[in-house]
Structures are given as structure tokens and as C-alpha cells.
Structure 1
Amino acid sequence: MKILVIGGGGREHALVWKLAQSPKVDKIYCAPGNAGISQYAECLDIKAEDITGLLTFAHEHKIDLTVVGPEAPLVEGIVDVFQNHDLRIFGPRKAAAQLEGSKAFAKEVMVRCQVPTAKYAEFEEAQAAKDYIQEHGVPCVIKADGLAAGKGVIIAISLAEALAAVDTIMTEKAFGTAGNKLIVEEFLEGEEVSVLAFTDGKTVVPMVSSQDHKRIFDDDQGPNTGGMGAYSPAPVYTAKVQEQVEKQVLDAVINGLADAGIAYQGVIYAGMMITRDGPKVLEFNCRFGDPETQPVLMRLESDLVEIMEAVVDRRLHEQEIVWSNNASVCIVIASGGYPGNYEKGEVIMGIDQVTEAEVFHAGTRFDGGEITTNGGRVLGVTALGKSIGEAIRTAYAAVEKIDFTGMQYRKDIGQKALAKKRD
């Protein structure tokens, strides 16, 4: 088989790494890829959003399966385009991808399907949003409606922060047209968990649980990022919570969309807060999460190609998906200044010294034979262990071997899991 993977981050490196393990695969291409991905795939000078260029390449090279990593091409309808040209592609069609493309749409689906979620209101005018916030008070959560690379969510503790957030999103257009509409949600207290699932539109098969770390600094301080690390499994995701999520969230949404004439095929990602009242959905994503994919795929023992083909062919019910009992931890190493302004082109040293973990590249490139930084999140160092504690120790031991000017990373990834184990 010839496979085309779209994207160039840590998630895509993990996907390529796992797909390359399948005996069914002869050749992998990745557009655009990165320095790490080039170990397993031929990287292409085609951007992930260049649907026409990707379509042309897939046709000319007789690609057997295309796997879409990032959300933007999914929301733009790349699956519809490929399928209309009789090309096999893994991911939801445009109508289904609006579950991530529009937070207002996702909220409407949740309400219709009786999925537990935070109370909310949506606005298209800044002043109306401000009036609502002043009436209902803080803390609250303010979200740009559209895609904002994981950064369009602002948790406002004070009234001043909340009003400023509205201006940032709607007036200053910090996230572009994603801020044409805005959601104001009630603030939920609890612990977050991410659950991804494979689905062919009829059958839903959840993956193992994970927990992301969104804030840039230890102890969940500082601004939100695309994710500074993750671990799997998440102890907060108990058997009772799992049962609730599978019935009230995953099955409810996939069946609800099907009833509305929308067949969802691919990966669905539910980001949830486990509150005193049970799990409540914060957001849905229409693809593999980043960095959750890295620790989750480390635990997958089944052939990912076979799973994806079963999803595309709507025969997922035939698949037995096996997971390792080991725990896994991913530590994200980021550029200095991220998630604000940061430098690119810093030489990365020590990756070749790491043998105890997988180093998934997120923002890297080759420059004169050296691997250099080329993004905010640079590497995702991911390790397995018989326990979360062992995986944490192994991952951090690997991180200490890597160095580049300005590198930063959280020192507390997985600590919530350790605290839960001690409870």
C-alpha cells in the first residue's frame, strides 16, 4: 500500500511511526512532514491546506489511503473532495467536521443529543457578549467559534479579563474570522480528560484515555497552548465515568448526527471535565489530538492501517483493537517565548542520544544537515512504563539529553495521575 499522511506536527509523526509498522505498507508520503517524519516517509513540499495540490498528488501517485492529521483541511472538506474523486481517505466529511469547526454547531448538537455540557450563550456582537458577562458574572470561559489552533479559549477569572477577552476575539480579531462569533460558557471545576474514539458512523470504539496539559507553565499557570504534554491512562477516567461517556457522549453524538443525515467516519475526540456531577464535554475535535495521540498510539498494539481501512469501509465492528497495559507519558519541549513570539532555527542537540523513548518531532526542519527548530512546540518525548511513575521518569530522563537555545518544558507532566494513585 501507498499511504499519504497530511500534516507536519508531532501528531503526524506519531501517525507515520505507527503506520510504518504495518506489514501492509510499502511507501508513506507526508505533506509537508518534518525532520523526524523523514525517517519513515518521503516529505512533500505541499501544504496541509492545499487540497488541490494534495488531490493531484494522490491521483498521480495512485495513493491507496490518505490520512488527514490537522483539523483545517477536514473542516474545509478535503474528505468530500477526495471521495468525490474515488480516493480512499480517513477522516470525517465537511458536515461532520463542523463539530470542531464551529463551537456553536457543537453546542447545538450536544443540546439536541442531551450530551452533558456547560451552560452557554453565543454572540455575534461584542457589546451583547459583554452585557451577558456583566449580568451572569465570572469566572467564565470565552471561546472563539471557529478554528484557532487550540488557542481560542480564554478562561476569565475577573470581570476585566472577561471583557478584555471579548475585545481580543471579536474586536481585535486575534484569531481572525474564527472570532466572528463567540461563545460564553459557565466555568466548570474538576479534572480534564481526553477520550478519542474510532468510528465508522455506526460502530464507536473508544481508545484508551489520556490527559493533556494546556497551560505553558507548571501547576497549570500561564496562557493556554496547543498542549505541553499528555499521559495515558488518566486515573480520573474510572469505569463508571467510562460507561457514562460511551453512552451519553460518544454513542449519543454519533447516533444523533446519523439521525440528522450526517455519517461521521474517522476519529472523534471528546475533551471533558470530570465534575462533581459527572463528565461534561468541553469540546469536540474531529481528528487525533495533539499531544494525546503520541502517548495513546504508543499503547496501540493492533495494526493502525487495518483499523483505518475498517473505518473507511464501515466495517469497524469486525475489528478487535488491542491496547498495551503499560502507561505512557509525552513531554512537549517548546521554543522559548511560546505560546507568544519565539525564534526559529535553533540547532537541536542530543536527539540521537535518546534510546529509552520515542522523540516525535513537532516543529523541526533540516538546515545544512542539522535538525533545527521550526515551530512553537518542537518535540514530544514519549515513553512507556509499567506505571505512570515509571513512564514519567523515563520520559524526563530522555528530555535531559536534549538541548537547544531557549528550550522550555513543564516539569510536572503526569503529577495529577500520581496524586490520584496515592489517594
Structure 2
Amino acid sequence: MQVLVIGRGGREHAIVWKLKQSPKVTKLYCAPGNAGIAAQAECVPINEHSFDELVAFAKEKHIDLVVVGPEDPLFAGAADAFEAEDIAVFGPRKDAAIIEGSKAFTKDLMKKYNIPTAAYETFDNFEEALAYVRKQGAPIVIKADGLAAGKGVTVAATLEEAEDALRTIMLDKAFGEAGDKVVVEEFLQGQEMSILSFVDGTTVKPMPAAQDHKQIFDNDEGPNTGGMGTYSPVPHIPQSVYDEAIRTIVKPTAEAMVKEGRPFRGVLFAGLMITPAGPKTIEFNCRFGDPETQVVLSRLESDLSELFLATVEGRLNEVEPKWSDESAVCVVLAAGGYPGPYNKGDVIEGLDLASESVVFHAGTAHDKEGRIVTNGGRLLGVTATGATIDEARRKAYADVDRIRYEGKQYRTDIGKKAL
């Protein structure tokens, strides 16, 4: 089987790494890929949004399966483009990817089908949003409606922060059209948990829970990022709570999308808050999370290509994914200054010394001399497994210490909540 993975981040590197282990996959391509992916797949210099070129390449190379990694091309219709040419593609169509592409759509969907989530209001007028925020008070959550690369959400501890967030999104247009509308939500307290599930429309096969660390600094301080690290399982959240989340949130959402005429096929990512009143939905994503993918796929014992095909062909009910009892921890190494402005082109050293983990590349590239250099905000996901979270942490951080580059920054507390 010949497979084309679309994307260039840590999530795509983890997907390529897992597919590479399948005896059924004879050839792997990645468009456009990165410096780490290049060691395991043939990288093709085609942008994720160049659908005509991607479809032509898939036809030329007789690709049997396309896997779309990022949310932007999915929301722009990547899956539709391949389906139109009868090319098997893993990822939801545009009309289902809206579950991530519009927070207002998703909040309205949850309200309609009584799926637990935070109370909210939606606004396209700055003055009205401001008046509502002042009436509600802080803490409060401000979200850009559209796709903002994981950075369009502000958990405002004060009214001043909330007002600044509204101005940044609606007036300064920091996220472009994604900020034409905002969702203002009640602040939920509790533990966060991510559940990714394979969904083929009607059948849902959940993956083990993971917990992400969004803030840039230790102890969940500083601005939100795309994710600074994850671990799986989440031992301090009981199995009964996980089961409740599947029963009251994940499965009803998949059913709701079918009822709405937008059947979801791909990975449905539920970002949850475990509140005193039970699990509530923070957000849905239409694809594998990053860096959740790195820890969850590290625990997958089944053939990933078979799970992808079963999802695409609507026969997920015939397969049962197998998961390791081991724990996995991923520590993200970021460029200095991230999530603000950061340098590119700094040489990364010590990657060959990382011996206790798998280092998934995200924002990396090769320079003219063939050296691996920084090329993004989040650079590497140092991912280790062990019998316990503690053992996996020790291995991951040992390798983190071996990797060097200018301005290296990372959190030192990934997985500590589980200890």
C-alpha cells in the first residue's frame, strides 16, 4: 500500500513513524514534511493547500490512501478534493470539519443536542461583546470563532485581559477572518482531558485519554500555545469519568453530525474539562491533536494503516484497536520567544544523542549544509514510554537535556499532575 501523508508538523511525523511500522505500507510520501519526517518518508515539496497538485501527485504515484494531518486544509476541503477523484482519504469532509472550523457552529450543535459544555454567547459586534463581558465579569473565556492555530483562545483572569482579548480578535484582527465572530464562554474549573476517537460516521473507537499543557510556562502560567507537552494515560481521572465522557459527549456528537447531514469520518478530538458536575466540552477538533498524537500513537499496538482504512471504508465496527499498558510522555521544545516572535535557522545539535525517546520533529528544516535547523515555534516533541509516568518523564527529560540550540525553551513539569 502506498500512502501520502499531508502536513509538516509533529503530528504528521508521529503518523509517518507509526505507518512506517506497518508491513502493509510499501511506500510513504509526505507533503511537504520536515527534516525529521525526511528520514522515514519521501518528502514532496507541495503545500498542504495546493489541492490540484496533491491530487495530481496521488494519481501519478497510484496512492492507495491519503492522510490529511492539519485542520486548515480539511476545513478548506482537502478530503472533498480527493474523494471527487475516487482517492481514499482519511479525514472529514469540509462540511464535517466545521466542528473545528467554527466554534459558534459547534456550540450551537451541543446546545441543540444537549451535549454538556460551558454556557456561552456568540457575538459579531465588538460593543455588544464588550457589554456582555462587563456584565458577566471575570474569569471568563474569549474565543475567536474560526481557526487560529491554537492561539485564538484567552482564559481571562481579569476584565482587563478579557477586554484586551476582544480588541485583539475583533478590532486588531490578529487572526484575520477567524475573528469576525467571537464566542464568550463561562470559565470552567477542573482537570483537562483530551480524548481522540476514530469515527467512521456511526461507529466510535476511542483512544486512551491524554492531558495537554497549553500554557508556555511551568505551573500553567503565561500565554496559550499550540501545546507544550502531553502524557497518557491520565491516571488521576477515574475510568468512570472517561466512560461518562464517551457516553454523554463523544458518541452523541458523532450521532448529531450524522443527523445534521454532516457525517464525521476521521479523528474526532474532544477537549474536555472534568468539572464537579462531570465532564464538559471545551472544544472539538477535526483531526489528531498535536502533541497528543505523539503519546497516543506511542501506545498503539495495532496497525495504524488498518485503522485508517477501516474508518475510510465505514467498517470500524469490525476492528478493535489494541493499546499498550505503558505510559507515554511528550515534552515539546520550542524556539526562544514562542508563542511570540522567534528566530529561524538556528542549528539544532545533540539529536543523535537522544537515546531514550523518539524525537518527533515539528518546526525543523535542513539548511544548505544539510544541518537540521529551527524553522518554527514548536520544534521537537521528545517522547518516551515507560512502565509509569514517572519513568517515561525521566527518559524524556534525559533526552531533552542532550538537545541544544539557541534560545531553547520547554516546560519542566510535563506529567507532574499525574504523579
Partner of 1:191: 191
Residue 159 of structure 1 corresponds to which residue in structure 2?
159
- Letter matched to residue 409 of structure 1: Y
Residues in 2 aligned to 1:362 and 1:189: alpha-carbon distance in whole angstroms: 31
3-state SS in 2 of match to 1:314: coil
* Distance (Å, rounded) in 2 between the aligned partners of 1:230 and 1:151: 17
Other-structure match for 2:416 = 415
Are 2:397 and 1:396 aligned?
yes
- After superposition, the C-alpha distances for 1:33-75 in whole angstroms (9 at most, x for unaligned) are 0010011111111111221221111112111100010000110
Shift of 1:236: 3.9
Amino acid at match of 1:378: L
Q: 2: distance between equivalents of 1:236 and 1:161? A: 31
Counterpart CA distance in 2 for 1:239 and 1:211 is: 14
Q: Distance in 2 between matches of 1:243 and 1:359?
A: 32
Specify the code of the residue in structure 1 equivalent to 2:386.
G
Q: Partner amino acid for 1:339?
A: P
Paired with 1:372 and 1:243, the residues of 2 have a C-alpha distance of 43
Moved over 4 A (4+): none
> CA shift at 1:107, angstroms?
0.4
Q: Which amino acid aligns with 1:416?
A: K
Q: Which residue of 2 aligns with 1:78?
A: 78
Question: Aligned partners of 1:215, 1:261: CA distance in 2, in Å?
Answer: 36
One-letter code of the match for 2:7?
Answer: G
Residues 194-245 of structure 1, C-alpha deviations (whole Å, 9 max, x = no match): 0000011111000010000000000011000000000001124321112211
> Is the partner of 1:328 in helix, strand or coil?
strand
Q: Paired residue for 1:176?
A: 176
Map 1:141-152 to 2 at 5 A.
141-152=141-152
* Inter-partner Cα distance in structure 1 for 2:278 and 2:236: 11
Cα distance, 1:262 vs structure 2: 1.6
Secondary structure of 1:330 counterpart: strand
d(CA) in 2 for partners of 1:61, 1:237: 46
Q: Name the structure 1 match of 2:256.
A: 256
One-letter amino acid matched to 2:331: I
Where does 1:226-241 land on structure 2 (aligned, <5 Å)?
226-241=226-241
How far the C-alpha of 1:322 sits from its partner, in A, is 0.4
| Residue pair 1:193, 1:236 contacting (<8 A) in 2 also | no
Asked if 2 retains the 8 angstrom alpha-carbon contact of 1:231 and 1:414, the reply is yes
Whether 1:386 and 2:373 are equivalent positions in the alignment is no
Report Cα offsets for 1:175-203 as digits up to 9, x if no partner: 11100000000000111010000011111
Q: Percent identity?
A: 57
Matches within 5 A, 1:346-385: 346-367=346-367, 368-385=369-386
SS at match of 1:198: strand
How far apart, in 1, do the equivalents of 2:279 and 2:236 lie?
Answer: 10
Task: Give the Cα–Cα distance (whole angstroms) in 2 for the partners of residues 236 and 166 of structure 1.
Answer: 35
Q: How far does residue 320 in structure 1 lie from its aligned partner after superposition?
A: 1.8
Alpha-carbon offset, residue 261 of structure 1: 1.6
1:69-110 deviation line (CA, Å, top 9, x unaligned):
000011011111111110100011111100000000010111
Task: Give secondary structure in 2 for the equivalent of 1:151.
Answer: coil
In structure 2, list runs of 5 or more residues that go unmatched.
Answer: none
TM-aligned CA deviation for residue 346 of structure 1? 0.6
* Aligned partners of 1:11 and 1:290 also within 8 Å: yes
| Structure 1, 75-84 or 122-131: larger mean CA deviation | 75-84
How many angstroms apart in 2 are the aligned matches of 1:135 and 1:369? Answer: 57
Separation in 1 of the partners of 2:382 and 2:180?
Answer: 37
CA distance in 2, matches of 1:252, 1:202: 10
Instruction: Say if 2:246 is the partner of 1:246.
Output: yes
The answer to whether the 8 A contact 1:214-1:227 is kept is yes
Work out whether residues 236 and 274 of structure 1, in 8 Å CA contact, stay in contact via their aligned partners in 2: no
What is aligned with 1:421? none
Name the SS for the 1:400 alignment partner.
Answer: helix
TM-score in terms of structure 2 length: 0.99
Other-structure match for 1:64: 64
| Residue of structure 1 in register with 2:340 after alignment | 340
Q: Residue 109 of structure 1 aligns to which amino acid in structure 2?
A: L
Following the alignment from structure 1 to structure 2, what is the Cα–Cα distance between the partners of residues 159 and 349? 44
Question: Would you say how many aligned residue pairs link Structure 1 and Structure 2?
Answer: 418
CA distance in 2, matches of 1:49, 1:194: 27
Deviates more, 1:327-336 or 1:245-254: 245-254
Query: Is residue 210 from structure 1 mapped to residue 210 from structure 2 by the alignment?
Result: yes
Matched AA of 2:23 = P
Q: Give the aligned partner of residue 297 of structure 1.
A: 297
| In structure 2, distance between residues paired with 1:235 and 1:111 | 30
TM-score normalised by structure 1 residue count: 0.98
- Report the counterpart of residue 48 of structure 1 in structure 2: 48
Cα distance, 1:158 vs. partner?
1.1
Give 1:372's aligned amino acid: V
Give the aligned partner of residue 121 of structure 1: 121
Q: Distance in 2 between matches of 1:31 and 1:98?
A: 23
Distance in 2 between residues matched to 1:286 and 1:65, nearest whole Å: 18
For residues 328 and 113 of structure 2, the distance between their equivalents in structure 1, rounded to whole angstroms, comes to 33
In structure 1, list runs of 5 or more residues that go unmatched: 419-423
Listed one character per residue, the Cα deviations across residues 110-139 of structure 1 (whole Å, up to 9, x for unaligned) are: 111211100000000100000101111111
State the SS of the aligned residue for 1:184.
strand
Q: What is the aligned partner in structure 2 of residue 15 from structure 1?
A: 15
Indicate if the aligned counterparts of 1:90 and 1:266 stay in contact, CA closer than 8 A.
yes
Residue type of the alignment partner of 2:148? A
Equivalent position amino acid for 2:87 in 1: L
Distance 2:255 2:99 in 1: 14
Counterpart CA distance in 2 for 1:113 and 1:36 is 43
